[in-house]
């Protein structure tokens, strides 16, 4: 397609019309140029293609499809290959259903456990979100289907999501919220990006040039289409000028007319519009030129795959006395409605019309395994139902072990609103406590999209976190509980003991349409670990039916210059009797002597498969970003000089080995020395000594007759300490009279020259 030629022969009206959707799911065709319309669909963990009545909140029917585990679960797999496989399956489904682009993945950071859409998001850590979403994107796009990484940017809550302003500082945006997108955009090159509803520091994401153009396109090299979230356009012309290409779902021509008027008035340049049109044409062409004819997809195969993915994703949080795996010969009481009708996906635009659902009880039945069952609670109610609990207690009493299927009901957790607390429904907590009263061997299997409080965690023997595990969650549950599969999921988020422990607690969801990200970069484990706070389950935690041992941590160098690569390797051995998969995690602990930094940050992870007795060497390549923070003075990444800890382990709280590397900084930060520069800012460096000495002597009245003797009230050492935070100008008022402003200015000039010297 010769885009430039086509654009040159398009009318202004045709160009403007291409910049918004025809309806909820289609772009507009341009008949004169034979440009076809293309279809997009949600996303992200299955296909929500609506052939007839359309909406963005999942109210109207969509085609029967396969619901894969949601991102909360797949992130816990920590497995790039698995996400890639899932992407390929989704891509093939889109090919067969004539969907050009699937609206996902969603990579917003889990800032608070309460965010209603956490189930669609990957992690509290940007690297996990970027790497795993990137693998998914690559899988989908390998089938020549587009993705739309979303919701760009700082959309971390549902409360007032269309109007609130996320007030976030530059460093926090770079290190946490942008970073989740950056890695995926740079490495996986999504065809499109979806901008979010909210404002960022006052300005709507949909008209924020800093993010949509300066960072996304100019810095990261994104060359695709930016589309709006459904209804995120505030002022269309401003948006277009900022880099927002496509308005979805369209506005019945209202905003197209604004574009036309702005071009006619000269307030929007034709060049800007043409650039947008070119990007949209390229996207349409990318899909249509390689569209497969007669593509088919196999629902049953994808159902199987959904079960496999969930098996690799579920997290075994607790396994006391080896209560798991379950013994087939034991009498097992299965309790809880979710064993028969699991909660396996969340509400809203990602809601899939599953063609089939396999529950735990279905899976057991499929294996000819008869199990006693009781409902235990009413999913639609919060209140305790005594009759249901009594029935559950009765079967638990007569069994060797009770497995309780619990979790959050649909109404607790959905797109469109946030959770109001972090607890399970009252009736489920009461059920667990009462079963514990008659049965010492209790296992809880959880179905939820984000962290929950577990007041009974110390008392039960086993806890499985299934997250929202997709339509074949039951098969995964059966295989994991009975040891046919070895659990290998790890928490991509910290489970705090209680909601008020979370760093965003005092600033979520904000007020007056404003939410202050006051915790800064201290999100999730970056906060809990730095604060040495007690947590229920740490980031990266997850047990296995086997045991792994780490040894032989090696660094390629012990001293490097910022920018030099560092290779780290470690051996991991499966010392148990069952094959399994370990998620090896690498954290970097930056020196703690300058700008506040988290005690450590995840900079590498790898999932390795190990047979019983097998050892593998895991290798990580670290570049300068692994050590850098975003410096707001130079508006760039900066590696400070010092000793950095290289930690490897199996959770953020289970570091097995640590070695240090010394890094020499490669960049000199700018410094302007003024009368208000403190002595302490210069004292550490001997190169200033000659100029500083007379200033200090004058300030402390040294070498003068009236020099005071050290008194009891203030020792020499104390005076030196106080000097640190004393600005140079104080030498004039508190010194011995040697300095006036002119003389001080000469000294400052000298100091500045010394600093500026290479
Ligand atoms: C959601 C998006 C979704 C879109 C289309 C919006 O409400 O925020 O994630 O892709 O609707 O359904």
Residue nearest ligand 1's atom 11 by CA: 56
DSSP string, 5-53: HHHHTS-HHHHHHTTB-SSSSB---BGGGTBPP-BEEB-SSS-B--SSS
Q: From atom 5 of ligand 1, which residue's Cα is the shortest distance away? A: 56
Atom from ligand 1 closest to the CA of residue 120:
9
Instruction: Express each pLDDT in 12-23 by its tens digit.
Output: 999 999 999 999
Among candidate residues 297, 562, 318, 611, the one with its CA nearest the CA of residue 444: 318
User: CATH number of the domain at 305-537, out of 3.40.1000.10, 3.40.50.300, 1.10.10.10, 3.40.50.1700?
Assistant: 3.40.50.1700
| pLDDT tier at 61, thresholds 50, 70, 90 | confident
pLDDT at 714 over 80: no
Question: Is residue 48 in contact with ligand 1, taking CB distance under 6 Å?
Answer: no
Q: Is the dihedral of CA 497, 498, 501, 503 positive or negative?
A: positive
Q: Is 25 in the pocket of ligand 1 (CB under 6 A)?
A: no
Could you tell me which residues come within 8 angstroms of residue 730 by beta carbon, excluding any fewer than 6 positions away? 699
- C-alpha dihedral sign at 77, 83, 89, 90: positive
Asked if 181 and 532 count as a contact pair (C-beta separation under 8 A), the reply is no
Interval 62-73 mean pLDDT: 96
pLDDT mean over 346-372:
95
CB 7 within 8 A of CB 30: no
Q: Whose CA is nearest to atom 9 of ligand 1?
A: 349
Instruction: List Cβ neighbours of 613 (8 Å cut-off, separation of 6 or more).
Output: 573, 574, 575
Q: Measured in angstroms, how far is the CA atom of residue 247 from the centroid of ligand 1?
A: 13
Mutational pocket test of ligand 1: of 133, 147, 349, 353, the residue with most ligand atoms within 8 Å of the beta carbon:
349
Q: State which of 230, 247, 348 you would mutate to test the pocket of ligand 1, scoring each by most atoms of that ligand within 8 A of its C-beta.
A: 230
**Burial of residue 396, with CB atoms counted within 10 A of its CB: 0-12 exposed, 13-18 middle, 19 or more buried:** buried
Q: Name the strand (E) or helix (H) holding 74.
A: helix 71-77
**How far, in Å, from the CA of 467 to the mean position of ligand 1?**
21
Residues 6+ apart with CB under 8 A from 150: 103, 104, 105, 106, 107, 108, 193, 194, 196, 229
| pLDDT grade for 1, boundaries at 50, 70 and 90 | confident
- Looking only at the bridges linking them, the beta strands covering 192-195 and 165-167 are unpaired
Residue closest to 397 by CA, chosen among 457, 337, 333:
333
Residues whose CB falls within 8 Å of the CB of residue 411, separated by 6 or more in sequence, listed in order: 380
Residue 120 Cβ < 6 Å to ligand 1: no
Ligand 1 neighbourhood includes 477 CB (under 6 angstroms): no
Strand ranges, E, within 71-163: 101-102, 146-152
Instruction: Dig out the tokens for 713 from the structure.
Output: 């009230």
From the number of C-beta atoms within 10 Å of its C-beta (0-12, 13-18, 19+), residue 209 rates as middle
Counting from 1 in the atom list of ligand 1, the atom nearest the Cα of 48 is 12
Mean pLDDT of 354-383: 96
Residue 172 is classified by DSSP as: H
Binding site membership of 148 for ligand 1 (Cβ less than 6 Å): no
Strands (DSSP E) along 700-749, which ranges? none
Q: What is the mean pLDDT of the chain?
A: 96
Query: Which pLDDT band holds residue 720 (cuts at 50, 70, 90)?
Result: confident
Q: Determine the pLDDT at residue 593.
A: 85
Asked whether 24 lines ligand 1 (CB < 6 A), one says: no
42: Cβ below 6 Å to ligand 1? Answer: yes
pLDDT, tens digit, 9 for 90 and up, residues 261-292: 999 999 999 999 999 999 999 999 999 999 98
- In the chain, count H helices and then E strands: 22, 29
* Cα distances (angstroms) measured from residue 57 to each of 105, 230, 264, 291: 17, 10, 37, 28
Q: Which residues contact 697 (CB under 8 A, 6 or more apart)?
A: 703
Supply the residue whose CA is at minimum distance from atom 6 of ligand 1.
230
- Please name the residue whose Cα sits nearest to atom 12 of ligand 1: 56
Domain covering 11-53+62-288: architecture: Alpha-Beta Barrel (3.20)
Tens digit of each residue's pLDDT (9 = 90 or more) over 460-497: 999 999 999 999 999 999 999 999 999 999 999 999 99
Q: Among residues of the chain, what percentage have pLDDT more than 90?
A: 94
Q: pLDDT (tens digit, 9 = 90+) per residue, 626-640? A: 999 999 999 999 999
Helix 178-188 / helix 126-141 crossing angle, nearest 10 deg: 30
* Angstrom distance (rounded) from CA 262 to CA 292: 39
Cβ-based burial of 36 (10 A; exposed 0-12, middle 13-18, buried ≥19): middle
150 lines ligand 1 (CB under 6 A): yes
pLDDT at residue number 292: 87
Token representation of residue 276: 């947008």
With a 6 Å cutoff on the Cβ, whether 56 touches ligand 1 is yes
Cα of 491 to ligand 1 centre, how many Å?
26
Prediction pTM value:
0.96
Question: What residues does each domain of the chain span?
Answer: 11-53+62-288, 305-537, 548-664, 679-757
What residues does 372 pair with on adjacent strands? 333
Give alpha helix (H) positions in 227-336. 236-242, 254-265, 270-288, 299-313
Q: Is the CB of 135 inside a 6 Å radius of any atom of ligand 1?
A: no
Tokens of 104: 């996902």
Ligand 1 centroid to 203 CA: how many Å? 20
Q: Which of 54, 56, 246 should be mutated for ligand 1, with most atoms under 8 A from CB?
A: 56
Among 42, 79, 125, 229, the active-site one is 229
424 pLDDT higher than 90 = yes
CA separation for the pair 571, 552 (Å, rounded):
6
Distance 56 CA to ligand 1 centre (A): 6
158 lines ligand 1 (CB under 6 A): no
Confidence tier at 712 by pLDDT (50, 70, 90): low
Q: 657 in helix, strand or coil?
A: strand
Report the separation in Å between the CA atom of 633 and the middle of ligand 1, taken as the mean of its atom positions.
37
Q: Calculate ∠ Cα 607-76-139, nearest 5°.
A: 75
Strands (E) in 401-440, as ranges, are 401-407
Residue length, the chain? Answer: 758
Read off the pLDDT of residues 686-697 as tens digits, 9 standing for 90 and up: 999 999 999 999
Q: Does any ligand 1 atom lie closer than 6 A to the CB of residue 45? A: no
CB of residue 504 inside a 6 A radius of ligand 1: no
According to the model, what pLDDT value does residue 641 have?
95
Residue 148 CA to chain centroid, in angstroms?
Answer: 16
Rounded to the nearest angstrom, the distance between the alpha carbon of 194 and the centre of ligand 1 is 9
Q: What mean pLDDT is predicted for residues 420-442?
A: 98
Task: Lowest mean pLDDT of 53-57, 426-430, 515-519, name the range.
Answer: 53-57
CA–centroid distance, residue 41 to ligand 1 (Å) = 9
- Count of beta carbons in the 10 Å neighbourhood of residue 506: 10
* Mean pLDDT score, 341-369: 96
| Protein residue with its CA nearest to atom 3 in ligand 1 | 349
Residue of 39, 42, 350 to mutate, ligand 1, most atoms within 8 A of C-beta: 42
Q: Is the pLDDT of residue 603 over 80?
A: yes
Q: Are 24 and 50 in contact (CB under 8 A)?
A: yes
Distance from Cα 16 to the centre of ligand 1, integer Å: 23
CB-ligand 1 contact for 230 (6 Å cutoff): yes
In this prediction, residue 106 carries a pLDDT of 98
**501 is annotated as an active-site residue:** no
CB neighbour list of residue 105: distance below 8 Å, 6 or more residues apart: 43, 44, 71, 122, 133, 136, 137, 147, 149, 150, 184
Does the 548-664 domain belong in CATH 1.10.1740.10?
no
- Ligand 1 within 6 A of 199 CB? no
């Amino acid at each position: 397609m010769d885009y430039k030629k086509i654009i040159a022969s398009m009318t202004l009206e045709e160009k403007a019309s291409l910049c918004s959707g025809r309806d909820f799911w289609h772009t507009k065709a341009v008949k004169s140029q034979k440009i076809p319309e293309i279809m997009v669909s949600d996303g992200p963990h299955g296909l929500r293609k609506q052939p007839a009545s359309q909406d963005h909140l999942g109210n109207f029917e969509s085609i029967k499809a396969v619901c894969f585990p949601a991102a909360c679960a797949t992130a816990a797999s920590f497995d790039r290959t698995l996400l890639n496989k899932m992407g390929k399956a989704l891509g093939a489904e889109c090919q067969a259903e004539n969907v050009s682009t699937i609206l996902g993945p969603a990579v917003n950071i889990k800032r608070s456990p309460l965010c209603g859409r956490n189930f669609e998001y990957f992690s509290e850590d940007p690297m996990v979100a970027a790497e795993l979403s990137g693998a998914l994107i690559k899988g989908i796009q390998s089938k020549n289907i587009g993705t739309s990484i979303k919701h760009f940017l700082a959309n971390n809550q549902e409360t007032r999501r269309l109007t609130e302003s996320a007030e976030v500082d530059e460093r926090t945006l770079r290190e946490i919220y942008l970073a989740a997108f950056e890695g995926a955009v740079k490495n996986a090159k999504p065809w499109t990006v979806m901008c979010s509803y909210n404002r960022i520091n006052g300005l709507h994401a949909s008209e924020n040039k800093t993010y949509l153009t300066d960072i996304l396109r100019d810095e990261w090299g994104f060359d695709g289409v930016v589309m709006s979230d459904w209804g995120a356009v505030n002022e269309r012309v401003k948006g277009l000028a900022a880099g927002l290409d496509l308005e979805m779902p369209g506005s019945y021509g209202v905003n197209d007319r604004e574009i036309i008027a702005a071009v006619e008035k000269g307030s929007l340049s034709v060049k800007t519009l043409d650039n947008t049109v070119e990007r949209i044409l390229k996207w349409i062409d990318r899909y249509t030129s390689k569209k497969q004819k007669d593509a088919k997809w196999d629902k049953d195969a994808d159902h199987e795959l959904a079960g496999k993915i969930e098996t690799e994703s579920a997290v075994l949080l607790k396994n006391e006395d080896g209560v798991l795996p379950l013994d087939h010969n034991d009498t097992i009481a299965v309790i809880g409605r979710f064993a028969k009708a699991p909660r396996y996906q969340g509400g809203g635009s990602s809601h899939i019309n599953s063609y089939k659902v396999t529950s735990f009880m279905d899976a057991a039945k499929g294996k000819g395994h008869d199990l006693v069952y009781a409902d235990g609670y009413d999913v639609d109610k919060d209140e305790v139902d005594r009759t249901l609990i009594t029935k559950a207690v009765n079967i638990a009493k007569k069994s060797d072990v009770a497995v309780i299927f619990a979790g959050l009901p649909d109404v607790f957790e959905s797109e469109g609103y946030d959770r109001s607390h972090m607890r399970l429904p009252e009736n489920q907590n009461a059920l667990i406590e009462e079963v514990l009263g008659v049965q010492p061997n209790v296992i809880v299997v959880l179905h939820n999209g984000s962290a929950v409080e577990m007041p009974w965690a110390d008392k039960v023997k086993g806890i499985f976190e299934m997250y929202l595990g997709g339509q074949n969650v039951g098969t995964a549950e059966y295989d994991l509980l009975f040891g046919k599969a070895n659990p290998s999921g790890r928490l991509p988020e910290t489970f705090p003991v209680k909601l008020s422990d979370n760093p965003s607690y005092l600033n979520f969801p904000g007020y007056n349409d404003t939410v202050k990200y006051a915790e800064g970069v201290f999100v999730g484990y970056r906060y809990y670990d730095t604060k040495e706070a007690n947590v229920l389950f740490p980031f990266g935690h997850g047990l296995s039916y086997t045991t792994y041992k780490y040894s032989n941590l090696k660094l390629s160098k012990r001293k490097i210059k910022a920018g030099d690569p560092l290779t780290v390797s470690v051996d991991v051995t499966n010392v148990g009797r069952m094959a399994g998969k370990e998620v090896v995690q690498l954290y970097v602990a930056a020196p703690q002597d300058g700008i506040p930094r988290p005690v450590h940050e995840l900079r590498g992870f790898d999932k390795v498969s190990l047979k019983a007795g097998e050892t593998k060497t895991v290798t990580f390549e670290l570049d300068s970003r692994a050590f850098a923070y975003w410096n707001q003075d130079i508006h760039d990444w900066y590696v400070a000089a010092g000793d950095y800890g290289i930690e490897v382990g199996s959770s953020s709280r289970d570091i097995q080995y640590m070695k240090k590397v010394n890094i020499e900084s490669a960049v000199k930060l700018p410094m302007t020395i003024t009368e208000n520069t403190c002595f302490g800012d210069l004292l550490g460096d001997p190169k200033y000594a000659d100029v500083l000495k007379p200033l200090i002597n004058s300030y402390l009245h040294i070498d003068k007759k009236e020099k005071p003797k050290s008194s009891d009230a203030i020792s020499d050492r104390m005076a030196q300490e106080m000097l640190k935070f004393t600005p140079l100008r104080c030498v004039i008022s508190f010194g011995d009279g040697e300095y006036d402003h002119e003389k001080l200015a000469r000294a400052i000039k000298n100091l500045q020259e010394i600093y500026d010297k290479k």
